[in-house]
Amino acid sequence: MANHKATKKDVRQATKRRERNKYYGKTTRNAIRDLKAAKEGEAAAQLPNVSSMIDKLAKRGVIHKKKAANLKSKLAKKIAAVAK
C-alpha cells in the first residue's frame, strides 16, 4: 500500500477515474447494442447520439480515437444497409 500522502491521493484519483471510465464505457456499449437491435427508423434517429457518445469516449481517452472512428464507421454502414 502507498506510504506517501501524494501516492495515497493518486490511488484515490485513479480509482475514481477507473469507475467513471467503466460507467461511460458500459453505457456506450449498451447504446451501441440497442442501436444494432433497433429498427431502421429508430436506428437512424439514434445514430447521432451514439456517435457523440463514442466521440466523448475517445476525447476522454477511454478508447483510442481510431477505434472510435472504426466503431462509428461500422455503425453507419450497418444503418445504411438496413435502410436499403
Contact status, residue 2 vs residue 11, Cβ threshold 8 Å: yes
Q: Which fold has domain 5-83?
A: Methane Monooxygenase Hydroxylase; Chain G, domain 1 (1.20.58)
Instruction: Work out the pLDDT band at 17, boundaries 50, 70, 90.
Output: very high
Could you give the CA distance from residue 76 to residue 36 in angstroms, rounded to a whole number?
Answer: 10
Q: Is the dihedral of CA 60, 61, 64, 65 positive or negative?
A: positive
Give tens-digit pLDDT for 40-77: 889 999 999 999 999 999 999 999 999 999 999 999 99
Please give the model's pTM, rounded to 2 decimal places: 0.85
In whole numbers, what is the pLDDT of the chain averaged over residues?
A: 94
pLDDT of residue 2: 76
CA distances from 80 to 26, 39, 43, 44, 52 (A): 25, 12, 10, 9, 18
Domain ranges of the chain: 5-83
